[in-house]
Structure 1
Amino acid sequence: MKSLLGNPVIQFILGSLIGGYMLLVGVTTRWTRVNQAVMEPFWRPNGGKLIGCIWHGRFSLIHKMWTFGPGIPRAKMLISHSREGGIVSHTARVVGAQVIRGSEAKKGKAKGGVEAMRQMARHIDGGGVIAMTPDGPRGPRMRVKRGPVQLAKLANAPLVAVTWASNNRIVFDKSWDHFVLPLPFGKGALVWGNPIAPPPMDASDADIEAVRLALEAEMNRIAAEADRIAGVPPIQPAPPRGEALVEAAETAPTS
């Protein structure tokens, strides 16, 4: 199966099918839009720098949080170099977005994260926007990592939390991100958060942490609001990584 998913032809077919399905879900769902006005200035030519952030588990309908057309800034999504990322890259192109490939190093092996950061900064400086999943690609679920905040500092771009929810869905609660698969013909909510200013270029670690916490709180706030509007149980964040390790140690069987 891993070999099959790594085949470029299979990735293209699967990505195209998934992208078509997500377009179908997007147009057949009756949406309530909340705080869209904060995003509309960015949809104009030369609308300004922007980094959009959505939780990994709700990445599938991120195209509904942006608009595409002549004169509108180009949106690019950060996609990992994994096999699954190859499929998602084709999905992103089907719904109208471009991609940048890269992710954090794993076991000392570079995954293109540094070069991806440079590409994203150049894209923002050129008038484009970037979409990221701050808890990806491996979690913890709904916990912001420092990458988006560091990019915001580098590019001097605000961070905007975005999310959606639908009452017609399947939640894969065995997956680390509690991935949400939306189904067609439901009722849902599209929610945009309030922009968060980037840390200054001379920001200290404490400054960066303050912005990280503010972004995490805003993303979780609007995720809960979207679920409430859709009338579905809210998806809860995982414990922060340090707390999760302590919890695992405390619950591990002893010899």
Structure 2
Amino acid sequence: MEKSPFSRAVAVLREGRFVLRIVPWLAARVMQCLFRLLRIVHVGRTYPESCWAKGERIIVVFWHGRLLMMPFVYPGKPGVLLVSQHRDGEYFSRIATLLGFEVIRGSATRGGMRALKQMIRAIKGRLNLVVTPDGPKGPRAKVRPGVIEVAKLTGAPIVPVSFSASRRRILQSWDAFLVPVPFSRAVYIWGEPMYVPPTATKDEVTKYQEALEERLDLLTMKADDYFRANL
């Protein structure tokens, strides 16, 4: 007997819920396994450590294309991740939760003001904030003003970081998403903290955006070239 439209809708809904549970779990396990198969080097780790030694919480930033292995950049530190409210955001949110992060949902276009307030509250609540300033849809390698505003309002330093691997695949996506090849050597490179004064004007905020873009681009270039220079 042919199913009614209502029965078909219920079946699709149940399948969707099943997929929403299983796919994030599988993705998180794959990410963890891939990380364990890499030989990791850390450079500049004293930068975030010096901030924590002073009792500061930090805003960790990196380009969206280097996201895959970033959940493991500094395990054991409490963190909250900004995840967009677009359709795929629910999957990313669940993956992040499985990997030990708290999650704030929002972006520059959807839920922006609410997300901004939650980010400020998280830092004041002694959590480190994790942001991809060019996510979730780009443009690639362009810092949006939100992260600068959070630093301005909270006094928390922005600490840039990048990741790369000796053998890697770059996907044909808007963000040039990097996937390390298993058993490769890999590197995390941190940059100097950036402090934004609470008196920064709109023009000065723009200059901090540009400066952060330059730092992230330089760190990413250094990460990509690291093993070429350290053979």
Do both share a fold (TM > 0.5)? yes
Which SS does the other structure have where 1:83 is aligned?
Answer: coil
CA–CA separation in structure 2 for the residues paired with 1:11 and 1:170: 27
The offset of 1:226, in angstroms, is: 0.5
Could you tell me which of 37, 52, 59 is aligned with 1:28? 37
1:121 pairs with 2:130? no
Task: State TM-score, norm by structure 2.
Answer: 0.87
CA–CA separation in structure 1 for the residues paired with 2:34 and 2:228: 18
Which SS does the other structure have where 2:67 is aligned?
Answer: helix
The offset of 1:43, in angstroms, is: 5.4
The answer on whether the counterparts of 1:63 and 1:95 sit within 8 Å (CA) in structure 2 is: yes
The answer on whether the counterparts of 1:43 and 1:67 sit within 8 Å (CA) in structure 2 is: no
Q: Which amino acid aligns with 1:215?
A: L
Which SS does the other structure have where 1:195 is aligned?
Answer: coil
The answer on whether the counterparts of 1:165 and 1:227 sit within 8 Å (CA) in structure 2 is: yes
CA–CA separation in structure 2 for the residues paired with 1:144 and 1:215: 7
The answer on whether the counterparts of 2:40 and 2:186 sit within 8 Å (CA) in structure 1 is: yes
1:189 pairs with 2:198? no
1:7 pairs with 2:11? no
Q: Which amino acid aligns with 1:211?
A: Y
1:96 pairs with 2:100? yes
The offset of 1:214, in angstroms, is: 1.3
| CA deviation profile, 1:138-186 (whole Å, cap 9, x unmatched) | 111111111110111111111011111012322113x110111223211
Which SS does the other structure have where 2:200 is aligned?
Answer: coil
Could you tell me which of 71, 75, 82 is aligned with 1:78? 82
Could you tell me which of 63, 68, 73 is aligned with 1:60? 68
The offset of 1:194, in angstroms, is: 0.7
Task: State TM-score, norm by structure 1.
Answer: 0.79
The answer on whether the counterparts of 1:49 and 1:129 sit within 8 Å (CA) in structure 2 is: yes
1:47 is aligned to 55
The answer on whether the counterparts of 1:53 and 1:161 sit within 8 Å (CA) in structure 2 is: yes
CA–CA separation in structure 1 for the residues paired with 2:227 and 2:114: 39
Largest Rg, 1 or 2: 2
Which SS does the other structure have where 1:163 is aligned?
Answer: strand
CA–CA separation in structure 1 for the residues paired with 2:22 and 2:168: 24
Which SS does the other structure have where 1:162 is aligned?
Answer: strand
Which SS does the other structure have where 1:151 is aligned?
Answer: helix
The answer on whether the counterparts of 1:24 and 1:184 sit within 8 Å (CA) in structure 2 is: no
Which SS does the other structure have where 1:57 is aligned?
Answer: helix
Which SS does the other structure have where 2:25 is aligned?
Answer: helix
1:202 pairs with 2:199? yes
Q: Which runs of 5+ in 2 are unaligned?
A: 1-11
The answer on whether the counterparts of 2:48 and 2:58 sit within 8 Å (CA) in structure 1 is: no
1:19 pairs with 2:14? no
1:220 is aligned to 217
Change (3 A) 1:14 1:141: same
Change (3 A) 1:181 1:12: farther
Which SS does the other structure have where 2:123 is aligned?
Answer: helix
CA–CA separation in structure 1 for the residues paired with 2:21 and 2:180: 21
Q: Which runs of 5+ in 1 are unaligned?
A: 106-110, 233-255
The offset of 1:52, in angstroms, is: 0.5
1:142 is aligned to 141
CA–CA separation in structure 2 for the residues paired with 1:231 and 1:97: 33
Which SS does the other structure have where 1:148 is aligned?
Answer: helix
Instruction: Report the number of matched residues.
Output: 217
Q: Which amino acid aligns with 2:133?
A: P
